[in-house]
Amino acid sequence: MHGSWWWCAWLCWLGGCASSAALDPDLVRPAAGAAFLEELPGPLLGPFDSPSDALLAACGKILSKPHASSGRADHPGFDARWRVSSEYCAWLYYTPDDHYVVSRLTDQSRVDPAQRSKSCLLPSRVVDARYPPEALRYIYALHNHPYGSALSSNDLRFIVSEGRVHGFESETKTGRVRLSIVAFFSNAVEPSSCDGFHQFIPLTGQVLKWTRAASGWRCEQTGRVTWHDVEALDFTIEKLHGPCLRGTGP
């Protein structure tokens, strides 16, 4: 039993327990004991002219947050880094004046006493006082995966549920943009870097993995999702392994 308390103390020292330090102004979270936030304020980053620029800025910002990356599993101390790791989530949205903007972040999550389960509860709505709420278009649901794992079942069901509220496609100045969910990852712990992300686009069924290489960004289609129950959101994923090429279909 003593061992467990020392373990806990060590995790606290690493940053696993809530501290009394002032909350990062980039973050919002509910007060202790309060219900989960149901709307997210904006803006945090932007305005951007292209969704790619906004996405990469969000990747760098989210992965710069404490314990956003647990690094590689084969590196010493991975278990401890995993236990203290955190997920952060946000929306990237499109404004009536044709800009891409990133909302503030939240790290509100379902508590797991064992600190092994990681989650982020992303509010469905963004409130940006500059625009009427119904004028915002939801483009990317953003979060990080501390280990860089693939998108989870809950991630896929989340974005379909949000698509049924906000729509799966939005008209922008650069064309019709599809709603998608993204999970950023870093291969390093400190300092973390935007090394890639997993992406799922409900309208096409594409599951993609983007990685940054010395020669630039590369995209691989890792799967295709088919829905079998439109109410219970049951689905299967056909595993794929090939580069992203126009004209090859989903």
Partner 1 sequence: MRRLLLVGALLLAGCPRRQGTSSASSPEDLSIVFPDFSTRQALSVGAPGTTYALDGALLRAVFVAADAFLPREQEDRSCWSRREAWRFRILREGDIAFVRMDADPRACAPGVLLLDGGATYAVRLSDGRILRRLHDGEPVGTPLPGSPDAGAIDGPSDPSIPVGDTTWGEAHPAFPSQWRDAGTPAP
Residues 189-228 that bind partner 1 (CB under 8 A): 196-199, 201-206, 209-211, 213, 216-220, 222, 224-228
With beta carbons less than 8 A apart as the criterion, state whether 170 and 176 touch: yes
Backbone angles phi, psi at 166, to 5 degrees: -100, -15
Q: Which of 28, 105, 145, 192 binds partner 1 (CB under 8 A)?
A: 145
Asked if 137 interacts with partner 1 (CB under 8 A), we say yes
Q: Which of 23, 49, 52, 97 binds partner 1 (CB under 8 A)?
A: 52
Asked if 29 interacts with partner 1 (CB under 8 A), we say no
Residues 80-109 that bind partner 1 (CB under 8 A): 82, 87, 89, 96, 108-109
Residues 9-28 that bind partner 1 (CB under 8 A): 9, 11-13, 16-18
Backbone angles phi, psi at 152, to 5 degrees: -90, 170
Asked if 162 interacts with partner 1 (CB under 8 A), we say yes
Concatenating the DSSP letter of every residue in 163-204 gives: HHHH-SEEEETTEEEE-EEEEEE-S-SSS----EEEEEETTT
For 67, how many CA atoms within 13 A lie in the half-sphere containing its CB? Answer: 20
Number of residues that bind partner 1 (CB under 8 A): 128
CA 150 from centre of chain: 12
Closest to 34 (Cα-Cα) out of 108, 96, 101: 108
Q: Which of 28, 44, 68, 141 binds partner 1 (CB under 8 A)?
A: 141
> Strand 180-185 relative to strand 196-201: parallel, antiparallel, unpaired?
antiparallel
Asked if 127 interacts with partner 1 (CB under 8 A), we say no
The Cα–Cα gap between 130 and 40 comes to 14
Residues 229-248 that bind partner 1 (CB under 8 A): 229-239, 241-246
Q: Which of 14, 27, 80, 121 binds partner 1 (CB under 8 A)?
A: 121
Q: Which of 23, 50, 127, 190 binds partner 1 (CB under 8 A)?
A: 50
